[in-house]
Amino acid sequence: MNFQELLKKFCKLLQRGKIRYLLTGGLATGFYGFPRTTHDIDFIVEVERESIYKLHTVLANLGRSYLVSVDQLTEHIQQTPILVTAFHFKSGIKIDFWIIEREHFVIELKRRSERTFLGQKIVLVSPEDLILTKLSWCKELRSERHMGDCVGIWCVQKGRLDEDYLKKRASELGVTGLLAEISTGSLPET
């Protein structure tokens, strides 16, 4: 299986399992900005107890083609964020499930974007929330890759981004300076 097949498969499994999710990370960056190499597929999943048990069932039934540590889901159900990974042996691709606080998930779910990719419905985090997530990570530990992703999204989506929302949330998250930096459309040389 390749990235496209795995993406379709997992979106279908999540939808069939009635698990609310958002595609994020490098693949979402490619939808909104400049495509780049990535080694995983990232999903955000809500932290509701029922959703966690549904996800546990989906992952536990993947079969021998995958390495999955589903014990994390039930052992750490009260802690967020939780990262659970399914590793597909033949392709070497990992599928990450980020289980985040309900408050953040609800905000991002309201702003989601739905696309059809190779005949499969895919629910993506909004470009604004993807930028804000990456900038929040950079606040803790600056990553030129994440900053570059944000510049790419900014440039490709320019004129379609909700800049008022971006500015408001950036202020709340303490990343106003980083937002100003990427909004120039380029990063300063280091």
* Cα–Cα nearest to 174, from 140, 127, 151: 140
CA distance 33 to 83: 25
Q: Beta-strand (E) ranges in 66-153? A: 66-68, 82-88, 93-100, 113-117, 120-124
CA distance 35 to 109: 23
What is the layout of strands, in order, in the sheet containing 40-46?
66-68, 82-88, 93-100, 40-46, 21-24, 120-124, 113-117
8 Å CB contact between 43 and 97:
yes
Q: Can you give the pLDDT at residue 39?
A: 85
Q: Per residue in 151-166, is it b (16+ CB within 10 Å) or e — as a string? A: bbbbeebeeebeeeeb
Q: Can you give the pLDDT at residue 163?
A: 96
The pLDDT profile of the chain, 190 residues, written as one tens digit per residue, is 788 899 999 999 999 988 889 999 999 999 999 988 888 999 988 767 677 778 888 888 898 999 987 766 666 555 666 788 899 999 999 999 888 777 777 788 889 989 888 788 899 999 999 999 999 989 989 999 999 999 999 999 999 999 999 999 999 999 999 999 999 877 656 5
Q: Can you give the pLDDT at residue 72?
A: 65
Domains of the chain: 3-125 (3.30.460.40), 128-182 (no CATH)
* Cα–Cα nearest to 95, from 144, 170, 38: 38
> Helix, strand or coil for residue 23?
strand
Q: Can you give the pLDDT at residue 134?
A: 94
Q: Can you give the pLDDT at residue 189?
A: 63
